[in-house]
Amino acid sequence: MNLVDGVMEAYSPAYRVQVIVSLSSVNGVRVWYLYEGNCGSCGRARSCRKMLEDEADERGIELASDERGIQPTELALNIFSRYIGGASGDVEKA
C-alpha cells in the first residue's frame, strides 16, 4: 500500500485479476479491476474516464494527449502501473 498517495494493490480471486483500491479526495474509495474491458459498448465509459483523469490530476500524473483518448481500462493501467510492479503485464482479457 502506498500510504502517501492512497493506492493499494490487491488481487481478486473471484475474477482472477489484479485490483487497485484508490483513496481520492475527489472520487472517494474506488476499486479498479485491471483487465481489458469492453468500454466501447459501456454507457459508463465517459464517467470512468473522468474519474481516472481526476485520479491522475490529484496524484500529479501528467497524461499525454494521446492517453486522453484511450479506453478507460487502458488508462487505468497507465495511471496505476506507476504505483505497482508489472501491472500492465498482468492484464486479463474480459
Choice among 5-9, 50-54, 81-85 with the minimum mean pLDDT: 81-85
For 48, the grid coordinates are 470512468
Task: Compute CA distances 49 → 20, 26, 71, 72, 94, whole Å.
Answer: 16, 14, 8, 5, 18
Residue 58 pLDDT greater than 70, yes or no? yes
pLDDT recorded at residue 35: 83
Domain ranges in the chain are: 7-93
**Residue 91, SS3 per DSSP:** coil
